[in-house]
Structure formats: structure tokens, C-alpha cells
Amino acid sequence: SIAILLYLARKFKTPDHWYPSDLQKRARVDEYLSWQHVNIRGKGSKLFLTKVLLPLLTGQPSPPEKLEGVTEELNIVLKQFEEKFLQDKPFITGSEISLADLVALVELMQPVGAGYDLFEERPKLAEWRRRVEEAVGKQLFQEAHEGILNAKNL
């Protein structure tokens, strides 16, 4: 949870870029972490549930019109994410990765795990993903997302 991440960052005095001491940068992290619950997390999880979990539980594919609707909802918040949070910066707070970037990418991997490549037609988002992966390490990133990226094969 977000509360646990913030607790760990404070308790273990992680490098400042994760949860910046600079109040403006910290406000950007806090703003994103507050926004993402009903936006990126909400819409990304809804797509994952609709495309992967419900068909797994019911044995029936989700109706195409339902998938279109949840995909459109996700596309709206992805556009907002790019325009409001990424803008023309390498990361949400500017030139360094933060917890906001980490949380954002983790949530975006759910739709990817459902087979929706949301990075394909969004070069800005794809470049941001590449930077986040490089910052945490590609091997660690792949290891952490192995389960979700294989979920569509259940």
C-alpha cells in the first residue's frame, strides 16, 4: 500500500529521490499517489478483471462492448497521466525517479499482463517506462512482474 511505501521510505531513510525532502517535489509525489487510486489503479485493475479474471472465473469471455468501455476509460486516464504528470519530464517529479513513478508503472503492468499493450501507441509513455525500468534494473523489473505478465496464460 501507499502508506507502507511512505513508512518504509521514512524509516529506512531511502535516497531522497524516492520521496523527496524538497516540498515541491514531494507535493508532486503526493499528488500522483492520491490521484492514482481511482484513476490509473482503478481503470487498469478494471481492465485486468474484465479481460482476465472474470473470464477465468466464469469460463466465458467478457462481452466485447464491455471490454471496449473499460479500455476507453483507461485510455482517458492514460492521456491525463501523460499530460498532467509526465508532461515533458523524464519522471513525474522531474529528472529523478520517485515512488510515484514506481507505483505508476506497477499499476500499468496489470493491463499489459491482460494483453493490452498500452505503451504501443504512446511513445512518451513507452520512453518513460524504459527510463523507470533502467532506473530499477531491467532484471529486477522483469522478476517483479513475471506473475502479472503471465496472467493472461492462466
**CATH number, domain at 144?**
1.20.1050.10
The pLDDT-based confidence of 151 (bands split at 50, 70, 90) is confident
Average pLDDT, stretch 14-27?
96
Number of folded domains that form the chain: 1
The pLDDT-based confidence of 154 (bands split at 50, 70, 90) is low
In-domain check, residue 3 = no
- Is pLDDT at 147 greater than 80 in this prediction? yes
Least confident of 16-20, 95-99, 136-140, 149-153: 149-153
Q: Is 15 helix (H, G, I), strand (E, B) or coil?
A: coil
- Is pLDDT at 150 greater than 90 in this prediction? no
Quote the CA–CA distance of 118 and 75 in Å, as a whole number. 8
Residue given cell 479481460 in the structure block: 51
| Amino acid identity at 99 | L
User: Higher-confidence residue: 152 or 128?
Assistant: 128
Range of the domain at 59: 24-150
Q: Percent of the chain beyond pLDDT 90?
A: 95
Q: Exposed, middle or buried by CB within 10 Å (0-12, 13-18, 19+), for 143?
A: exposed
Quote the CA–CA distance of 6 and 99 in Å, as a whole number. 9
Quote the CA–CA distance of 24 and 40 in Å, as a whole number. 22
* CA–centroid distance for 56 within its chain: 23
> Can you give the pLDDT at residue 46?
96
- Residues 69 and 100: beta-carbon distance below 8 Å: no
In-domain check, residue 13 = no
- Residues 103 and 36: beta-carbon distance below 8 Å: yes
In-domain check, residue 12 = no
In-domain check, residue 130 = yes
In-domain check, residue 19 = no
Residue given cell 525517479 in the structure block: 97
Average pLDDT, stretch 112-129?
96
Integer CA distances (angstroms), 36 to 11, 15, 61, 84, 99, in order: 24, 23, 28, 12, 12
Q: Exposed, middle or buried by CB within 10 Å (0-12, 13-18, 19+), for 67?
A: middle
In-domain check, residue 17 = no
